[in-house]
Amino acid sequence: MSDKYVRLSDLTLSYGKTVAVPNLNLDVVEGELIALLGPSGCGKTTTMRAIAGLLTPTSGAIEIDGRDVTRLAANKRGIGLVFQSYALFPHLSAFENVAFGLRLKNMADAEVRSRTEAGMATVGLAGFEARKPAEMSGGQQQRVALARSLVMEPKVLLLDEPLSNLDARLRLEMRTELQRVQKDTGVTMVFVTHDQSEALALADRIVLMKDGKIEQLGTPSQLYAEPATAFAAEFMGFENIFRVEGENLVSNSGQLRLGFAASSSMLAWRPGGVHVGQGPFSGRVVASSFAGGHREYVFDCQLGEIKADAPIETAEVPLGQSIAFDLPQSTARPLLA
């Protein structure tokens, strides 16, 4: 097991004169499932395309399994990529789609057949061999795309937004499927997503990216509990983020005197971390909605809007009424900037 199985060193990627990713450094551990997470335009897809060899880096190096592949052509890298659109070949059957790469290797027909059938079985598509992509559902098409990459026994399997085109039920199914495939084959997987819940649920480690740079890197629980920056906190569901100046919390609309001494330059609270019903502060309710186990409030105070979840047992405060709340130290997340 190498903990530098995929190694990106000082990688700079650009489209023409536009630099999409400046100077990226990242090590991927062998056999892990790592997520590149970030909003569109953050460079995650660009990075993935560079690993695949579909984009030549402006500078820097890409190593895979100890070998420098920076200048190696995409068709010689032995990397699999499951495209967001699946990119199946519409003129070929599911079987021929999966067998496509094997046939290029001048492999004996019997072996192509047995490996293709095994690949289709791995993704639960035995019996669908003769179907054309157009005759399959989105979920089935994605499985064909997954099998097509897996039968090549790639060193690294890249997945572009693997769950974004599926409905809620299929998402869950595919998530389990991907984790199982990864456990069975031990293949190193890098997937790209803009959906933090997808990354949190699936990945061993998450690389949060912003403007082509790594904002924070860590396990899902680290990122969820301890976002380091305002950007990371926002991505992880901290909806109330304020600057700290002296003993005050400051926003663009005003300030509020804190009840405790803060050592960081910013503080953030999840809606669930705001105490509703009692406390030193008060706001006016501008929105309130029932969300099953809790009630979601938006209220207006000196800091502007605050989002808070109240336990369902507490009495509902009607719109326009004032509500007491607290921003306690215990649930506050200190941020860098």
Partner 1 sequence: MKNLTIWVILGLTLTFLIGPFIIIIFAGASAGEALAFPPDGLSLKWYFKVFTIESFRDSFLLSMFLAIFGTLTALLLGIPAAYALNRYDLPGNETIRTIVAAPIIVPGIIVGLALLRYLVIPLDFTVTLALFMAHTALVLPYAVRVVSSSLNNLRADMEEAAVLLGCTRMQAFMKVVLPNIRGGVLAAFILGFVTSFNQVPVSLFLSGPGVRTLPIDMLAYMEITYDPSVAALSALLAFMSLAIVFIAERLLGFSRYV
User: Residue 100, interface with partner 1 (CB under 8 A)?
Assistant: yes
User: Residue 81, interface with partner 1 (CB under 8 A)?
Assistant: yes
User: Residue 169, interface with partner 1 (CB under 8 A)?
Assistant: no
User: Residue 17, interface with partner 1 (CB under 8 A)?
Assistant: no
Judged by CB, which is closer to partner 1: 67, or 103? 103
Cα–Cα dist 74/55, whole Å: 9
Judged by CB, which is closer to partner 1: 156, or 258? 156
User: Residue 85, interface with partner 1 (CB under 8 A)?
Assistant: yes
Q: What angle do CA 332, 38, 201 make, to 5 degrees?
A: 70
Q: Please tell me the count of residues contacting partner 1 according to CB under 8 A.
A: 24
Whether the Cβ atoms of residue 175 and residue 163 lie closer than 8 Å to each other: yes
Q: Which of residues 147-166 bind partner 1 (CB under 8 A)?
A: 148-149, 152
Cα–Cα dist 136/148, whole Å: 15
Q: Which of residues 41-60 bind partner 1 (CB under 8 A)?
A: 52-54
Whether the Cβ atoms of residue 200 and residue 220 lie closer than 8 Å to each other: yes
Out of 43, 57, 80, 283, the only residue in the binding site for partner 1 (CB under 8 A) is 80
* Alpha helix ranges (H) inside the chain: 44-52, 94-103, 109-122, 138-150, 168-185, 196-202, 220-225, 230-235
Stretch of 96-104, 124-132, 223-231, 237-245 lying at the interface with partner 1 (CB under 8 A):
96-104
HSE-CB for 80 with a 13 A CA cutoff: 26
Question: Which strands, in side-by-side order, build the sheet including 6-15?
Answer: 18-28, 6-15, 59-64, 67-68
User: Residue 83, interface with partner 1 (CB under 8 A)?
Assistant: yes
Smallest separation, CB 47 to partner 1 (Å): 16
Judged by CB, which is closer to partner 1: 109, or 247? 109
Smallest separation, CB 273 to partner 1 (Å): 42
Strand partners, 81: 158
List residues binding partner 1 (CB under 8 A).
Answer: 52-54, 74-75, 77, 79-81, 83, 85, 87-91, 100-101, 104-105, 145, 148-149, 152
